[in-house]
Chain A
């Protein structure tokens, strides 16, 4: 596609429920990143995928968070047993390759846990 697409745009869920957030990167971009942005804060790195290599999961805050990337394209971030502190904007970004390029970001998913 023309840009990085994220869905849903907004998600409200009850505490304890599981949620799935989707990211569709730019076609041909081999690197994909997930970041979390809490209200008024900077971006917190969560996870990074590069081609078929094992993902860098070093930023995932707990084992309730997981992500996968199927076929080197679409990625899904899953949060199990959501907590109120999970409320944030989840941003996805992609780049053409490993290296020094800037990221192209999606518009994010605003997750609200009530």
Chain B
């Protein structure tokens, strides 16, 4: 079975500080993609960052970066210099081929 686990239902960070959201996944595939999506109260799912499993270099998008540990099947998201607008649900997702499997999400609160 291929599952995605987000062990932190809720996280909180002070504005301007750094926070790391955890994600682990289970797979027997060697080639796949991993994603982090942000879902604000508007319900719109927004792609934050993408990682290709065959690339060792961790993906980075401005204040967002990942720590991809393929052997450990771990894919954490680091948000630096947190902003109030970062408050949302964050979903980790795994895609080997056709469909994408999502974790249960982590609700991030940003304190001013």
Contacts and interface: CB of A to CB of B under 8 A. Distances in A.
A42 interface: yes
Interface string B38-59: 0000111101001010000000
B95 A98 contact: no
Contacts of B102: 35, 42-43
A33 B102 CA distance: 13
B103 A42 contact: yes
Contact of A107 (B43, B91, B101): B43
Nearest to B50: A102
A42 B92 CA distance: 10
Interface residues of A, number: 23
Contact of B99 (A41, A45, A89): A45
Given A42-B104, A42-B105, A43-B91, A105 B45 contact: yes
Contacts of B62: none
Contact of B43 (A56, A89, A104): A89
Contacts of A48: 98-99
A45 B4 CA distance: 13
Secondary structure dominating the interface of B? loop
Interface in B54-85: none
B35 interface: yes
Nearest to A105: B45
Interface in A73-91: 89, 91
A102 B32 CA distance: 12
Interface of A: 31, 33, 35, 41-43, 45, 48, 50, 56, 89, 91, 93, 98-100, 102-105, 107-108, 110
Task: Please provide the 3 A-B residue pairs with the shortest distance between their CB atoms, ordered closest to farther.
Answer: A105-B45, A42-B104, A43-B102
